[in-house]
Chains A and B, each alone.
Chain A
Amino acid sequence: MLGYMLFVAALFFCAGIAMWLCLLGVRAAKLLHAERRARQRQGILAAMTRFRMAGDPRRLVDGLRQAEPAALIQIASRLLPLFTRAEREAFEEALARRRVARFIAERIARADEAKRTLYCELLGVLGSERSIPTLQHALSDRSPAVRIAAAISLAQRGEVDDVRELVARIGPAARRSSRLTYLFDALLAAHGDEVRAIASDPSIEPRVRISAFVALTGVSEADHRALLPDMAADPSPSVAAASARLLAERPHPDAGPLIARLIESPYPSVRREAAEAASQLGDTGLRPALRRVLGDRDPLVQASAARSLVHLADGAPAGGAPGVARAPALDRPIFGASNG
């Protein structure tokens, strides 16, 4: 028995040493690979520089033709926001010639989560018509992050027919994500009414509705004014609490009365958010409402109200406090709202 244990331990020791040697080998291979990639990147960047100087898209396309699809993807993911329109068009042409969409479609199934997400995002910006089936397929991916990325890309490309169906397809885990706000943002132009319908449909999960509200009120001042009273009166404590934060972060003509109403909410999480929001609003008219909850049965509501009263006291210095949101900050996720 002991001899056997000795053998096993020695085996592990040798395995450890062997793994260490492998690690050195892997490191060396990575260095070589990185050098090759760096050369490719240099080639692409040189082609782009020549193009910028000479202004001839053909030269860029010719330069990019030499590069591997993986290097093109890497450059595209990093530099896309910096491209000029002409560079972008040339880049898209190069990607089409190098069959990057097919490259991604072939690899997406066996790539890791980080790459699958990136591929979906790139297909949303650069892909051709042929990338739509890949994105549709990615809506059923096992990773919520990939499903959301695919949904956003489809929305950016205008390939969404039914918003509710799309939201249903991404699954419950993805519907819990704050990134839904980006999805609704991308849908607003073509499906604004559907997004509004989702926001005010109490049968839909509060998190989805909050994201819809945040997207709507973050883009349009009219929606901000019109929707926040509805949001504050929402039967879901999560949505109502979210409205308190939005009211604190961006001016609203009825912010004071709405916060005063929220301070009276039957839900402690809503009262707490409203009491916190009161100090950020700086509206001294809220002092009576805050005084009423100084004896609240929830100690955190009491504490938040007391702190807000200190901030709203006569002669209290302006200048805010750490963590107070700065306008415009409509598009923040709202925490602590749905457990209450």
Chain B
Amino acid sequence: MFWGSGDAAAWIGLAQAVTVIIIVSALLQNLLHIVQLAAAAGAIRARPPVVDPALIRERYGRIAPSISVIAPAFNEEVTIIASAHSMLSLRYPHYDVIIVNDGSTDSTLERLRDEFKLVKVQQPLALLLPHRPARAIYRSLVAEHLWVIDKENGGKADAQNAAISLSHAALFCVVDGDTILEPDALMRAVVPFLDEPDRTIAVGGTLRIANGLDVRDGRVRELRVTDRFLPRVQILEYLRSFVMSRLAWSRINALMIISGAFGLFRRDVVMEIGGYTQGSLGEDLDIVIRLHAHMIESGREYRIGFVPEPMCWTEVPESLRVLARQRARWQNGALECFFSNLKMALNPRYGRIGMLGFGHILVMDIVSPLLEVIGYLTIPLFWYVGLLSYEYLIGYAAIVFGLGTFTSIASLILAEFQLRPYPHVSDLAKLGSAAVLENFGYRQLHNLWRVWGMWQYLTAQHAWGEMPRIGFAGGR
């Protein structure tokens, strides 16, 4: 003991108070998860996915609007050809693909040029939205609806703005340059726009993980869970995020983010808000928040929807170093968006977006990771130095691990009701074991990365960092 006996009671009281705050925060976080689970289950029950894509085409194909699929690519030479083939073989009546080579320093453009026989089009790119200058615009001789913009590097948001400036379509769909799209992704995602054409301004879709899958000719041929632990844990994270959280938020029209890897937007409304914010680290969160703000401020009825069916497949980091950088960047981007739109936070004028959406970001993205990391450090320390009884330590661990496992398994069950669940029982076993194991080590690291992201935000470190691509298994 390093304190006097007179101070002991005060120290114990302080330690208990800190611990109770941390435990209450963990409980609140888990309670929110359980509420989201219930809401997501209600949403799937109220509107289950239509299993047969032919039915959707039959119902909506003839009235489907034109869509531009926009894929920014920066140093994507490993995956760009497979992604481009998947984008070009979608089952949708009227669409074009615009790939933006955002100043790649590798052979992304050369590969596209060789594979698709690109030729230059003598056409200036209008400056409808702010973006870095384009060097050239290409069209393909072999794929009629493929366009490629070669431009100076300006980041993802900048590349998206350039493509929106080129497009004339009523809707545009943003995807990542390394994304493998499901053949019916556009047809499924466009349904909310056709059901409520005047109100729907954006729709997100479920993103799934492509690591370890057999991808050929731009199609996922066989669904299986990878044997590597890190991607497997990320499968669970993505399920929690998409199947549980986003579905729940969309049910009350308070969806705060549409993944940058797949999102469908009304072009005119995005142009009204000036397109994507150049240089933003969280451009996918930023644009949705600004859309909410714009529609609420102009007093228009609107809806930002979410389609739970899987829309596309993406590669996730397989190394801790790259994953750490990615998660820190996400956290940095979330804080950047939160504070750049601070006027909306907990502001009743912005209704459920200001109160619930921003409240959720505050609790889940700012307070919780910080308190959880503090909890990892302080609660064992308090117990070790005798300020706390072991019940606190075990109670905290049980809340974090017990409820965490419950949420992950429940998300797996929700995913079972989506389309294309993992076909093998062994895959469920792998994911079930990952749901338990992720609580021991990965969860703690993840929260540390998020705190690192907060530090990056506070010290104004603003970099995307590179994600080395592995390429899809099974050929192009």
Contact = CB atoms under 8 A, between A and B. Distances in A.
Interface of A: 2-3, 5-6, 8-13, 15-17, 19-20, 22-24, 26-28, 77-78, 81, 112-114, 117-118, 121, 143-145, 176-179, 181-182, 207, 214, 238, 269, 272, 276, 279-280, 300, 303-304, 306-307, 310, 316-317, 319, 321-326, 329, 331-339
B351 interface: no
Given A27-B425, A113-B48, A279-B168, 12 more contacts: A6-B395, A16-B406, A19-B409, A20-B428, A177-B197, A178-B197, A207-B197, A272-B268, A304-B128, A316-B123, A322-B68, A333-B193
B194 A113 contact: no
A73 to B, nearest CB: 12
Interface of B: 23, 27, 45-52, 54-55, 58-60, 62-68, 94, 96-98, 121-124, 126-128, 139, 145, 147, 165-172, 193-199, 266-269, 271-272, 300, 391-392, 394-395, 398-399, 401-403, 405-410, 412-413, 416, 425, 428-429, 432, 435
Contacts of B432: 20, 23
Contacts of B121: 317, 319
B153 to A, nearest CB: 22
A280 B170 CA distance: 13
Task: Pick the most buried of A5, A143, A329: most chain B CB atoms within 10 A of its CB.
Answer: A5
B49 to A, nearest CB: 7
Contacts of B416: 23, 26-27
B415 to A, nearest CB: 10
A112 B94 contact: no
A272 B139 CA distance: 27
Interface of A is mostly: helix
A75 to B, nearest CB: 11
Contacts of A6: 391, 394-395, 398
B391 A2 contact: yes
Contacts of B58: 81
5 contacts: A176-B196, A322-B166, A324-B168, A335-B193, A335-B197
A118 to B, nearest CB: 7
A174 to B, nearest CB: 9
A159 B194 CA distance: 26
A28 B272 CA distance: 51
B51 A12 contact: no
A10 B397 CA distance: 10
Nearest to A321: B168
Task: Pick the most buried of B45, B168, B391: most chain A CB atoms within 10 A of its CB.
Answer: B168
Contact of B126 (A207, A272, A306): A306
